[in-house]
Chains A and B, each alone.
Chain A
C-alpha cells in the first residue's frame, strides 16, 4: 500500500496555548496510522473570536495570515469543528468583496478538515487500536454538527476503543453554553446552559465526556471542576491516542 499523503496540522490557539497535550495526541494518532504530519510554525488563530464578535477587519487579518500559511498544504487537519467551520463557511463571506482573496480562501477551505471527519471520511479509518478504561459519552459541538455535518464519525471512532463503554447522554446535540465571548459577557445564561449539559452527562452514567472542540470541553471542565464532580473531560484525540 502506498504511504498516505502527509497532513498539515492546524492547531487552534486554544489548544496551542492551553491544551498542548491535545495537539500531541493528534500527532500520536497520525503516527499510529503511519502518516507524516507537518506543523507550520507561523500559524496562530483562524480569526473566529474576532469574527463572532463582529470585528470583521480584524478577522480578515487573521484569515489572510491563515491562508498564506496553509495554501501550499495538501490537506489541513484541525482538532476543532468550530475553527474548521470558520475557514469553510465564513472566509468566503469575509472576502465577498475581494475576489482574489476569496478564490484563495475557497481553495484552502476545500482542503481543510476536522480531525474525525478526516479520519473516517477521507482515510476510511475507524479502528485506531486505542484502549481506554471507562464509560464514555459524547458531546456534539454545535458547529461540527450543524455546519460541518459530522455526527456519526466521532461515535464510530469511540465505539472501536477497547475497554470503553459508549453511552449517549440526553440532548447530546444541545449547546453547552460556551459561545466564545458569550460565556464571559453573558455568564449567567452560559452557566445555566452548561449546568444542564453537565446534568445530562451525569444522567448518562458516563465517567468521561469526550468532544471534538476544546472550547466546549473547557466550559464543561470548568463547571465540573468548580463543582468537584467525578467526571473527566477528554478531547477525542486523547481518547484515540491511548
Chain B
C-alpha cells in the first residue's frame, strides 16, 4: 500500500510550524547547504552555465527515452544482468517479490531510494514476511521510528539527537546518550549484522548511462556499495527517466548532482554497476536485476507542458532553498517527494485534484529553479497545474477546483476590461470597508475567506481617491 496524504497539506504544515525543533533544523540546514550549493555552481570549471547545458542534455535524453532505455537494457543483458520494465508500482514490487521468493530471501538490506518510497516497496515486502532494513543512517532512524523521510537527501532532518538517543535506547537496547559518534557507532554495529545476514540487496539508481550500460549509485556512508556487493542478489530500481545517453553526459550530470545534493564536488562513494559479478571477480552479487519503473511517467512524457519535469535527477537542491519547504518540512507534502519537486511531481503521479494544495500552496518565488542543477522551470509547471485546476482538464482527469472561484474571476475579468466599471468597483470597495474594523488606513479584519490574511496581519485600505482620480485632478 502506497501512502498518499496529500490532502492534509494545510493541517500537516500547521503542525510542522509548531515544532520548534523542526523549525530550527530546517533553517540551519537550508542556511548551510543552500548558499553552499550556489557557490559550487559558481566554481564549476565550465562556469554556472553548465546547468543550462545539462538541461538540454536531459531534455534530449527524455525525448529519446525509448531508444536510450533499449540500449541500456541491451548492454546490461549482455553482461548477464536482467532488466524488467514495470508499468506500475505493483508490477515493480511483484517482480521483486518473485525474485525474492525464488531465492527464498528472508532478509534484505537496502540503500536509500526515493522511487522505492514512491512504490511502497518496504511495506509490500514486509507484508510478505521479508525483513527489510534501511542502511542509510538517516533512513535507518526513520525506519526504527516507523516514520517516513521528510527530505530526499536528509530524511531524518526533523529528528534531534535527543530524539535519536531515546529511539536507539528503546529499539537497539543501548544506554541513552545523545552523543552523535556513540549513536553512529551503535547504528553501525547493528547494521553490520544486517549486512552480513542479508540475502538480497536493494538500491535505487541515481543515474544510468545507456552507452556503457551501467547504473550509478551514490552515497556518503558507503552503505549502498555494501548493500549491493555483499548479498548474492542485487535488485536496483530506477524511474524510467533517469537515463543519460553517453558517459560524457553522465559525467556532467553526475558532477551537478553532487553539487545540487550536498554541495560536494563528488560524493564519498560512487559505484557504477553494469551487471552481476563475472567469474573472475571475487566480489559482487551473482544476480543483478534492474527494474525500470514507469508508474505514471509515460503520461508525463506525453504532455509537452510537463515533460520537462522528467529532467529531474532528485537531488533535492530545490528543497534546500524553498521558503515554503523551509517552514513546513517534508511530511506536509504527503508523498515520497517533497518541496518544489514534490509540488509538481506528486500531483502528476497521484492526481492533480487530490494534490491541489501542493501546487497552489507555493509563492512562485522561483528560488527552486535557480538552485536546480538542471535548471528546471518549476514555477512554470506549478502555474500549468493551477490552470488545470482552474478550468478542469480531460487528459488529466481534473475536475474544476471551485466553480465559485471561476465565477469570481469571470466577474473580475469583466470589471477590469472597462475602466469605468473598475472605478465603480473601487468605489464600492472603499465604501464597504467602512464596516470593517481597523485604524489609520489599515484594516484589521477582512470578511470570510479573506480573513486568512488578517488573522495575523493588517492590510492597507482602499484609498479615497485612486491614482487615476488624483492624476485627473492634477491635469485639470
Interface residue ranges, A against B (CB under 8 Å): 11, 13, 15-20, 23-24, 27, 39, 41-45, 47, 49-58, 61-62, 65, 90, 93, 142-143, 146-147, 173-175, 177-179, 182-194, 196, 218-219, 221-223, 225-226
Q: Does B174 make an interface contact (CB < 8 A)?
A: no
Residue of B nearest to A90 (CB): B383
Task: Judge whether A52 and B453 touch: CB under 8 Å.
Answer: no
Q: Does B409 make an interface contact (CB < 8 A)?
A: yes
Q: Does B3 make an interface contact (CB < 8 A)?
A: no
Complex Cα–Cα for A63 and B470 (A): 25
Task: Judge whether A187 and B467 touch: CB under 8 Å.
Answer: no
List 10 tightest A-B contacts by C-beta distance, closest first: A179-B363, A54-B390, A54-B386, A222-B457, A187-B452, A175-B365, A20-B467, A58-B413, A146-B366, A142-B365
Q: Does B60 make an interface contact (CB < 8 A)?
A: no
**Contact (A146, B370) CB under 8 Å given A11-B467, A18-B460, A223-B456:** yes
Task: Judge whether A186 and B470 touch: CB under 8 Å.
Answer: no
Task: Judge whether A17 and B466 touch: CB under 8 Å.
Answer: yes
New contact pairs (17) apart from A51-B383, A225-B458, CB-CB < 8 Å: A20-B465, A42-B419, A44-B416, A53-B386, A54-B391, A55-B390, A56-B390, A65-B416, A146-B365, A146-B370, A147-B366, A173-B367, A177-B323, A182-B363, A187-B456, A188-B456, A225-B457
Residue of B nearest to A26 (CB): B467
**Contact (A218, B324) CB under 8 Å given A53-B386, A188-B17:** no
Task: Judge whether A53 and B409 touch: CB under 8 Å.
Answer: yes
Residue of B nearest to A19 (CB): B460
Complex Cα–Cα for A183 and B444 (A): 15
Expressed in whole angstroms, the minimum distance between the Cβ of A235 and any Cβ of chain B is: 12
Expressed in whole angstroms, the minimum distance between the Cβ of B276 and any Cβ of chain A is: 47
Q: Is the interface of B mostly helix, strand, loop or mixed?
A: helix
Most B CB contacts (10 A, CB to CB) among A42, A65, A177, A225 go to: A225
Ordered by A's residue number, 23 sampled pairs between the chains whose C-beta atoms are within 8 Å are A16-B426, A19-B463, A24-B467, A43-B419, A44-B416, A45-B422, A49-B412, A52-B383, A54-B386, A54-B387, A54-B388, A55-B387, A61-B413, A61-B417, A146-B365, A173-B367, A178-B363, A179-B365, A184-B449, A185-B360, A191-B455, A191-B457, A222-B454
Expressed in whole angstroms, the minimum distance between the Cβ of A173 and any Cβ of chain B is: 8
Task: Judge whether A142 and B364 touch: CB under 8 Å.
Answer: yes
Complex Cα–Cα for A219 and B452 (A): 12
Expressed in whole angstroms, the minimum distance between the Cβ of B210 and any Cβ of chain A is: 33
B:427-476 near A, CB below 8 Å = 429, 442, 444, 449-463, 465-472
Task: Judge whether A174 and B417 touch: CB under 8 Å.
Answer: no
Number of A-B contacts (CB under 8 A): 190
Task: Judge whether A189 and B417 touch: CB under 8 Å.
Answer: no
Q: Does B179 make an interface contact (CB < 8 A)?
A: no
Task: Judge whether A50 and B324 touch: CB under 8 Å.
Answer: no
Complex Cα–Cα for A142 and B450 (A): 23
Complex Cα–Cα for A215 and B472 (A): 25
Complex Cα–Cα for A62 and B470 (A): 23
Task: Judge whether A143 and B366 touch: CB under 8 Å.
Answer: yes
Task: Judge whether A52 and B426 touch: CB under 8 Å.
Answer: no
Residue of A nearest to B444 (CB): A226
CB contacts (< 8 Å) of A52 on chain B: these are 364, 383, 386
CB contacts (< 8 Å) of A185 on chain B: these are 360-361, 449, 452
Complex Cα–Cα for A219 and B410 (A): 26
Task: Judge whether B388 and A222 touch: CB under 8 Å.
Answer: no
Expressed in whole angstroms, the minimum distance between the Cβ of B256 and any Cβ of chain A is: 20
Most B CB contacts (10 A, CB to CB) among A16, A47, A142 go to: A16
Write out, one digit per residue, whether chain B residues 355-385 have a CB within 8 A of any chain A CB (1) or not (0). 0010011111111011000000000100101
Task: Judge whether A225 and B442 touch: CB under 8 Å.
Answer: yes
Q: Which of A45, A54, A90, A142 contacts B363 (CB 8 A)?
A: A142
Residue of B nearest to A174 (CB): B323
**Contact (A191, B417) CB under 8 Å given A179-B364, A186-B361:** no
Q: Does B327 make an interface contact (CB < 8 A)?
A: yes
Write out, one digit per residue, whether chain B residues 396-422 have a CB within 8 A of any chain A CB (1) or not (0). 000000000110011011011111001
Complex Cα–Cα for A196 and B456 (A): 13
Complex Cα–Cα for A43 and B466 (A): 12
Q: Does B153 make an interface contact (CB < 8 A)?
A: no
Complex Cα–Cα for A66 and B161 (A): 56
Complex Cα–Cα for A51 and B405 (A): 13
Complex Cα–Cα for A16 and B467 (A): 5
Residue of B nearest to A60 (CB): B413
Task: Judge whether A222 and B453 touch: CB under 8 Å.
Answer: yes
CB contacts (< 8 Å) of B456 on chain A: these are 187-188, 191, 223, 226
Complex Cα–Cα for A62 and B323 (A): 30
CB contacts (< 8 Å) of A42 on chain B: these are 418-419
Residue of B nearest to A223 (CB): B457
Task: Judge whether B367 and A146 touch: CB under 8 Å.
Answer: yes
Expressed in whole angstroms, the minimum distance between the Cβ of A64 and any Cβ of chain B is: 8
Most A CB contacts (10 A, CB to CB) among B327, B328, B456 go to: B456
Residue of A nearest to B384 (CB): A54
Residue of B nearest to A45 (CB): B416
Task: Judge whether B363 and A177 touch: CB under 8 Å.
Answer: yes
Q: Does B389 make an interface contact (CB < 8 A)?
A: yes
Complex Cα–Cα for A51 and B383 (A): 8
Complex Cα–Cα for A62 and B421 (A): 14
CB contacts (< 8 Å) of B167 on chain A: these are none
Task: Judge whether A50 and B466 touch: CB under 8 Å.
Answer: no
Task: Judge whether A179 and B362 touch: CB under 8 Å.
Answer: yes
Task: Judge whether A16 and B416 touch: CB under 8 Å.
Answer: no
Complex Cα–Cα for A17 and B465 (A): 8
Q: Does B266 make an interface contact (CB < 8 A)?
A: no
Q: Which of B328, B366, B409, B413 contacts A189 (CB 8 A)?
A: B328
CB contacts (< 8 Å) of A177 on chain B: these are 323, 363
CB contacts (< 8 Å) of A146 on chain B: these are 365-367, 369-370
Task: Judge whether B472 and A53 touch: CB under 8 Å.
Answer: no
Q: Which of B444, B462, B470 contacts A24 (CB 8 A)?
A: B470
Task: Judge whether A218 and B363 touch: CB under 8 Å.
Answer: no
